[in-house]
Amino acid sequence: SRLWVAALGAPLFAAAPFVSTSALAQTEITVQHALPLNSHYGAGAAALKENFERLTSGRYRVTEQRNDNEREMVESVQIGTLDCTVTSTGPVGNFVSEVRVLDVPFLFRNTAHARGVLDGEIGQGLLARFSSRGLAGVAWMENGFRHLTNSRHEVHVPADVQGLKVRTMENPVHMRAFSTLGALPTPMAFSELVPALQQGTVDGQENPIGVIVANNLNQVQRYLTLTGHVYSPAILICNPAMLARMTPADRAHFMTAAKAAATANRDRVTEDVNNGVAELRRRGMIVTTEVDTAAFQASLAPAFAVYERELDGALLRRIRDWH
Ligand code: PAF
């Protein structure tokens, strides 16, 4: 996977010659995520850096790096070669299976529903599950509602999806939905997506507006349909040993900074939703807003039956009924 340093903090005490060496000691925390600096994950990482460095008076330095293989990042956090990642839940269910309920299509009615569930008892309960898998689920963040793009034709109804080769995340819940619709789901890491679209290995992909805009996917995809077929949560996951090495006061500062990061990230998602569709039209995409959502939901009935059986059916109903 490609990995490059997106931003390095300025050395805070570089110009303070009379400070003793121990006062200079700085602990570095590296946070990786899959998107450009100018994106909703970038906004979250920047807020984490700004707040945590300020609250710890520069004793910590946060470095933001880009790595567009989310499974790899979660693995690295688990084994401790990476401190933290902001990732979609795409690969997370393979580590903490309980999280898979959140990946069910058409589960959340709107953003308020999703944020309310994640910030409440259900979301916090799911974060608590990470510790038994060698991970710390620190805070829910947001990727956003996913929409379908493709290079072949406009999509209005489920029949339009039939036979389309669609790149999905490495997520069995999403893959089942696409195969139930008659598409040919092709799971791959985000790092492989653009070459796969260029070479015609896949016809389409699905991602939130902010991802499509920030990665210029309009250059490789002509049609965008506002399917909003699934909410895509994101999460800040850290290595538990790294957090355990902090003093309790610094850990509390880290949690405060994580909250600020989630707020900045969600605000940017909202901004992208408000402006992004017009921007993609300006860049030449053909945008379909008339989508037969009820028909998509009806076509997914066989998949919903499997989710009820294979995932936590009671939890799915609690999420659906949340007000
Ligand atoms: O499609 C994906 O893999 C994810 O939505 C992305 C773009 C890496 C952001 O989390």
Summarize pLDDT for 54-71 with one digit per residue, the tens. Answer: 999 999 999 999 999 999
Determine the Cα angle at 286 with ends 284 and 204, to 5°: 100
CA distances from 84 to 64, 65, 271 (A): 10, 10, 25
Atom 4 (ligand 1) nearest CA: 88
Ligand 1 site, residue 90, Cβ cutoff 6 A: yes
Predicted pLDDT of residue 23:
53
C-alpha of residue 312 to centroid of ligand 1, in Å: 25
Q: For 86-115, what is the mean pLDDT?
A: 98
Indicate whether 169 pLDDT > 90. Answer: yes
Q: Which residue owns the Cα nearest ligand 1 atom 3?
A: 190
Ligand 1 site, residue 269, Cβ cutoff 6 A: no
Report the alpha-carbon distance of residue 152 to residue 221 in Å, rounded. 9
Closest CA to 101 of 316, 318, 323: 316
Distance 143 CA to ligand 1 centre (A): 8
In this structure, is the dihedral angle defined by the CA atoms of residues 64, 146, 140 and 94, taken in order, positive or negative? Answer: negative
Beta strand 184-187 with 165-168 is: parallel
pTM: 0.92
What pLDDT is stored for residue 15 in this prediction? 38
Find out whether 216 and 282 touch, Cβ atoms under 8 Å: no
Task: Note the pLDDT of residue 203.
Answer: 98
pLDDT value, residue 25 = 79
Among residues 275, 3, 261, 285, the alpha carbon closest in space to that of 140 is found at: 261
Rounded to the nearest angstrom, the distance between the alpha carbon of 146 and the centre of ligand 1 is: 10
- Is the sign of the CA dihedral 189, 193, 196, 201 positive or negative? positive
**Region 77-87: what's the mean pLDDT?**
98
Instruction: Give the H or E element holding residue 186.
Output: strand 184-187
Question: Measuring CA to CA, which residue among 288, 47, 15 is closest to residue 157?
Answer: 288
Q: Is 190 in the pocket of ligand 1 (CB under 6 A)?
A: yes
Q: What is the 3-state secondary structure (H, E, C) of 111-154?
A: HHHHHHHHHCHHHHHHHHHHHHHCCEEEEEEEEEEEEEEECCCC
